[in-house]
Amino acid sequence: MLTACRPLWRLLFATEGTGFHGLLFAASLFLALLGLNMLLLRLLSPGRTLRWMLGVLLVLAAGASWFADTYGVVLDSEMLRNVAQTNPAEARDFIGMPLLVRLLWQAGLPIALISQARLPLRVWTRSLREYALGALGGAALLLVAALPMYSSYATFFRNQHAARYYIAPANVIVGSVRLARKTLHRPPAFSRVGEDAQRMRPEGAKPLVLVLVVGETARAANFSLGGYARDTNPLLRQKGVYYFTDVESCGTATATSLPCMFSELPREEFKLGPARYRDSVLDILQRAGVAVSWIDNQSGCKWVCDRVPSERASAYDIESCAAGECLDEALLRVMDRKLPQAARDGLITLHAMGSHGPAYYRRVPKERRVFEPVCDTERINTCSDEKIVNTYDNTIVYTDYILAGLIDRLAADQQRVDTVLLYVSDHGESLGESGLYLHGQPWMVAPRVQKQVPMLLWFSSGAPARLGLNTDCLRAELGSKASHDNLSHTMLGLFDVTTSVYRPALDLLRDCRRP
């Protein structure tokens, strides 16, 4: 408990100090957690399963504490959902010697000791009594230790939202139960949204193609288009893009952000559970007659593309793919093949690998590294912050290269098709600020860097006139507050879809277009 809850103790001493009160509170919390663990252990292990359950809990606690120590992440049900939805390639980035070593000393050693202990055989009345006594004893210890300092507990756990997620292994157990409850909940009937969707298209106009690039883990703070001191957007800078400087994400992890940004509901009304059984904006666009497609270079579309044609980017490219993973270069190959086929109005969604961590170095081919030295390992906690930032910034420069490459391809075909490119990242990232790494903090407590995302627009030469868009007006709007809430409605507006679920106030281009 002392070693497995290290982030909790660190947080406690950082906020409460190491004076008399801090130490007293720590002692009280230690005893309370001891009681909590006794209670949990007893409740979870009826009869003679005690030894087994203790082993399981030790492994859970060791694994959870390794994640918390290494990446500063908190283990709530959403983080466990991310773990459960991880594909083998992503998992490979995490599983390695350090985790194994941690499991060995923190769980293996105590398990070996426990297995030596002899538990005498008992008649069932006696074991029942022990079961009850153990549970009651745990509960009593918890109360006796915590009650006298109740106000300290209330202040600490109310102000430090992350603290309760650091209590291992209870965090994993509570998170798993919550996740299971959310997941096992009987699937509700599928609800269709925007069934009245339809659109008018100008007679004889060229095809209009929107290329939507869903970025991954790109944070706004490291885009030089938004003021970052390093030149991380050397190519986009020359492409005449419209960069939004204040964009907030809907979630702090792919599993929540994607369903939310493709829902027509704004974040405050959005619920992740039902979203799986509900139309996304892709369904609405498709229903209105737009040719929608999704090409994935990542861990899937989290159900938003289930009813539209979808493919893996690896089907278009072999050179930049290895071990089931492709560099985003593959997206350029996708566009080389897809764009010439575009004969009618369509939306091509490209789900990029972007800056997916912790193995940032694997997102960029060696010859495209700009900043050195880099962190050449997924164990980013072993690298200096300077190296981590260099490696991450290289992924942003690489994203700049990919987006500029896509724009070049669209520009080369602009006599034939009117095109718009819209890029937005799914969430940001922590790069060691306040000891935090990666992303996925609960939205309410997540730092700004995990929630501020880059977003930009580019138009082919004929697109603004065709859309009746005043680009000076748009340029003046770029500093206004925007968010993932705007994505669905801006897309519906771009394709002039009329539907009762369209909210003009959330369409970023609405005010700058001639009706």
Q: Which residues bind Zn ion (CB under 5 A)?
A: 216, 254, 426
Q: Which is nearer to Zn ion, 296 or 426 (CB)?
A: 426
At 208, which amino acid appears? L
CB 425 to Zn ion: min, Å = 8
Closer residue to Zn ion in complex, CB, 216/418: 216
Instruction: Select the residue whose beta carbon is closest to Zn ion and give its number.
Output: 254
Give 301 or 467: the residue with its C-beta nearer to Zn ion: 301
Close Cβ partners of 133 (under 8 Å, ≥ 6 residues apart): none
> In b/e form, how buried is each residue of 436-456, taking b as 16+ CB within 10 angstroms?
bbbbbbbbeebbebbbbbbbb
Task: Give me the residues paired with residue 455 across strands.
Answer: 244, 424
As measured in angstroms, the least distance from the Cβ of 254 to Zn ion is 3
Minimum CB separation of residue 389 from Zn ion in Å reads: 19
Identity of the residue, 302 or 387, whose beta carbon is nearer to Zn ion in the bound complex: 302
Query: Shortest Cβ distance from residue 91 to Zn ion (Å)?
Result: 15
CB of 393 closer than 8 Å to CB of 371:
yes
Which residues, at least 6 apart from 158, have a Cβ–Cβ distance to it below 8 Å? none
Q: Are 504 and 485 in contact (CB under 8 A)?
A: no
CB nearer to Zn ion: give 216 or 378.
Answer: 216
In the complex, least distance from residue 218 CB atom to Zn ion, rounded to whole angstroms: 9
Residues 6+ apart with CB under 8 A from 17: none
64 CB contacts (<8 Å, ≥6 apart)?
4, 75, 168, 169, 171, 172
**Residue 256 Cβ vs Zn ion, minimum distance, rounded to whole Å:** 9
Residue 495, CA distances (Å) to 21, 48, 116, 347, 474 in order: 62, 65, 70, 9, 17
Helices 77-85 & 170-184 angle (0-180, nearest 10):
70
Q: How far apart are CA 402 and CA 439, in angstroms?
A: 23
Closer to Zn ion by CB, 175 or 259: give it: 259
Amino acid at 385: D
> What 3-state DSSP class applies to 443?
coil
With respect to Zn ion, which residue has the nearer C-beta, 295 or 512? 295
**How many Cβ atoms sit within 10 Å of the Cβ of residue 332?**
20
Any idea what the Cα angle at residue 198 is, between residues 193 and 203, rounded to 5°? 160
Taking the C-alpha atoms of residue 411 and residue 408, their distance in angstroms, rounded to an integer, is 5
Nearer to Zn ion, 216 or 345 (CB): 216
Q: Min. distance of Cβ 395 from Zn ion in angstroms?
A: 13
Task: Return the closest-CA partner of residue 299 out of 57, 54, 3, 86.
Answer: 86
Shortest separation between residue 354's beta carbon and Zn ion, angstroms: 8
**Comparison of 426 and 496: residue with beta carbon closer to Zn ion:** 426
Residues linked to residue 244 through DSSP beta bridges, in sequence order: 455
Question: What is the token pair recorded at 283?
Answer: 């369904």
Whole-number minimum distance, CB 496 to Zn ion, in Å?
Answer: 30
The distance of closest approach from Cβ of residue 427 to Zn ion in the complex, given in angstroms and rounded to an integer, is: 5
Residue 213: CB minimum distance to Zn ion, A: 13
Asked if 314 and 330 touch (Cβ cutoff 8 Å), the reply is yes
Question: Is the separation of the CB atoms in 285 and 497 below 8 Å?
Answer: yes
What is the longest distance spanned by two Cα atoms in the chain?
A: 87
Query: For residues 393 and 426, which CB has a smaller minimum distance to Zn ion in the complex?
Result: 426
Cβ closest to Zn ion, residue 61 vs residue 258: 258
Residue the block writes with tokens 């230790």: 145
